[in-house]
Amino acid sequence: MADRNWRNQTSITEFILLGFGDLPELQNLLFLLFLVIYIVTVAGNILIIALVVTDQHLHTPMYFFLGNLSCLETCYSSTILPRMLASFLTGDRTISVRGCIVQFHFFCSLAATECYLLAAMSYDRYLAICKPLHYAALMNGRFILQLAAGSWILGSLACSTVIYLMSQLIFCGPNEIDHFFCDFTPIIKLSCSENHLVVLLDSILGCVFTLPPFLLTVISYIFIIATILRIPSITGRQKAFSTCSSHLIIVTLFYLTLMIVYMLPKNNHLRAFHTALSVGYTVVTPLANPLIYSLRNKEVKEALRKVVSKLVPFTRHHTNQANCVSLAVK
């Protein structure tokens, strides 16, 4: 029950993100670790976007969705990691109430969008493996644009109402968020005004907007695996599975950590485990996306090899020119 005297209390204007503050001796190490992760995440995902845009062989529905996912992962990690890095560097773990709600808005919208993009990618793989003769007709340019645009739009709508109601809440202390970013439950716990409606709405919208894409992803892979197992040759099964194995790893990593975190009881005994799993779907998944697709995908590796082969002669050419100019001057 909400505190009846909240109207007589002074509302707070900022929160303190406790995060990894209980590990003061590891702050510098954690800063370097997460800085490297952020740089690799952003650089890797931007590289994939550039390859998908520039390489004609990657102009397919599968890689179109991969480009969208890489764009999303760049934004997703940028929503959380820069603020975390700043707190490691300066020791300032405060964030304004409005800034905290804005961070949660982007986190929530991008997480919901990722659910839809992963579902669209799994449906694409389902059509490619289970309906190969109809794939080109079904997965046409207009349809893939509708799937991608729908994912971004639905992801934004999934959180808009909840964010509006959260912005109307009053927070009057305590102001410590036991997390390294602004998530729904830690924020709501600090509200001293009536919050039953926003909690109920969050649960309903969470089911309405995220359960369908999750079920579509699961059903798609049930049919995909069943179809692959019916392929008579081992080589054929390996080839079919290789086209969706990278996506399956990303899906498993994202949903497994996400579901465990939100299904775990919120108590102090599981705090460290809860934080570690939260790092899984907020930090590790965006990092894993470019690494897995670049290391396990032959077409992406081939596109990257072409880029490198073009850059090396270009660099050598300019180096030789520079050497010639230097000799001429001498």
* Domains of the chain and CATH, by start: 11-296 (1.20.1070.10)
Beta bridge partners of 176: 16
pLDDT of residue 97: 92
Instruction: Answer yes or no: is pLDDT of 315 > 90.
Output: no
What confidence category does residue 266 fall into, taking pLDDT thresholds of 50, 70 and 90?
Answer: low
- CB of 166 closer than 8 Å to CB of 187: yes
Mean pLDDT, range 189-211, rounded to an integer: 85
CA distances 97 to 15, 167, 274, Å, are 6, 9, 23
d(CA 77, CA 49): 16
The helix (run of H) or strand (run of E) holding residue 67 is: helix 61-90
Mean pLDDT, range 73-95, rounded to an integer: 91
Around 42, how many Cα atoms within 13 Å sit in the side-chain half-sphere? Answer: 12
Mean pLDDT, range 1-5, rounded to an integer: 45
d(CA 170, CA 173): 10
Order across the sheet with 14-17: list the strands: 94-96, 14-17, 176-177
Instruction: Answer yes or no: is pLDDT of 289 > 60.
Output: yes
Structure tokens at 42: 């952003």
- CB of 294 closer than 8 Å to CB of 304: yes
What confidence category does residue 265 fall into, taking pLDDT thresholds of 50, 70 and 90?
Answer: low
Handedness of CA 224, 155, 102, 166 (dihedral sign): negative
- CB of 66 closer than 8 Å to CB of 48: yes
16 by DSSP, 3-state: which? strand
pLDDT of residue 305: 84
Q: Which residues contact 87 (CB under 8 A, 6 or more apart)?
A: 17, 19, 93
Give the model confidence (pLDDT) of 117-171 as tens digits. 999 999 999 999 999 899 989 999 899 999 999 999 999 888 888 999 898 888 8
For residue 174, cis peptide bond before it (omega within 30 degrees of 0): yes
Q: What percent of the chain has pLDDT over 90?
A: 36
What is the C-alpha radius of gyration for the chain, rounded to an integer number of angstroms? 23
Structure tokens at 303: 């596109």
pLDDT of residue 12: 83
Higher per-residue confidence, 69 vs 273: 69
- CB of 248 closer than 8 Å to CB of 222: no
d(CA 209, CA 108): 11
Mean pLDDT, range 203-213, rounded to an integer: 84
Q: What angle do CA 156, 181, 171 make, to 5 degrees?
A: 85
pLDDT of residue 217: 92
Structure tokens at 79: 């929503």
pLDDT of residue 268: 64
Instruction: Answer yes or no: is pLDDT of 318 > 80.
Output: no
pLDDT of residue 8: 47
| 128-142, 206-220, 313-327, range with the lowest pLDDT | 313-327
Q: Which residues of 179-215 are buried (b: 16+ CB within 10 A; e: fewer)?
A: bbbbbbebbeebbbeebeebeeebeebbeebbeebbe
Instruction: Answer yes or no: is pLDDT of 5 > 70.
Output: no
pLDDT of residue 38: 95
| Strand 176-177 relative to strand 94-96, pairing | unpaired
pLDDT of residue 242: 80
Question: Which alpha helices (H) appear in 168-297, and where do they start and end?
Answer: 184-189, 196-229, 234-242, 245-263, 271-279, 285-296
d(CA 188, CA 251): 28
Give the model confidence (pLDDT) of 12-70 as tens digits. 889 999 888 777 788 889 999 999 999 999 999 999 999 999 888 888 998 999 999 99
Phi-psi region of 115 (alpha: psi -120 to 50; beta: other; left: phi over 0): alpha
Instruction: Answer yes or no: is pLDDT of 102 > 90.
Output: yes
Instruction: Answer yes or no: is pLDDT of 287 > 80.
Output: yes
Handedness of CA 20, 26, 31, 34 (dihedral sign): negative
